């Protein structure tokens, strides 16, 4: 699992801007310190979005490998109904 959460390092502690969801206690983490004077907020947001996209793809592969799939015809029919598309 890959989960990105922003935070601030202060007085030897990392204060998260939000609490992680679906993360077990004692999960391993990697911490990257960013130099605020050299960080472009737009590029940082793009990087976070890319990491979240990778996580979504990984989750899709895990679901596929565990057999959590459905026939493509069912998906197409659902999308046609949801978005009022004639088939």
Scanning the structure block, which residue is given the tokens 């793809």? 57
Check residue 32 and give its pLDDT.
85
> Dihedral sign, CA of 45, 46, 51, 53?
positive
Q: pTM to 2 decimals?
A: 0.50
Q: What is the pLDDT of residues 5-50, one digit of tens each?
A: 889 999 999 999 998 888 888 888 888 888 888 888 898 889 889 9
Q: What are the respective helix, strand and coil percentages of the chain, to the nearest 5?
A: 45, 10, 45
């Amino acid at each position: 699992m890959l989960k990105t959460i922003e935070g601030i390092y202060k007085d030897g502690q990392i204060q998260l801007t939000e609490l992680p969801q679906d993360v077990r206690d004692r999960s391993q983490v990697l911490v990257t310190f960013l130099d605020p004077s050299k960080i472009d907020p737009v590029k940082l947001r793009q990087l976070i979005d890319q990491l979240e996209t990778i996580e979504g793809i990984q989750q899709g592969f895990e679901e596929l490998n565990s057999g959590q799939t459905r026939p493509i015809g069912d998906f197409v029919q659902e999308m046609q109904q949801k978005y009022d598309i004639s088939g």
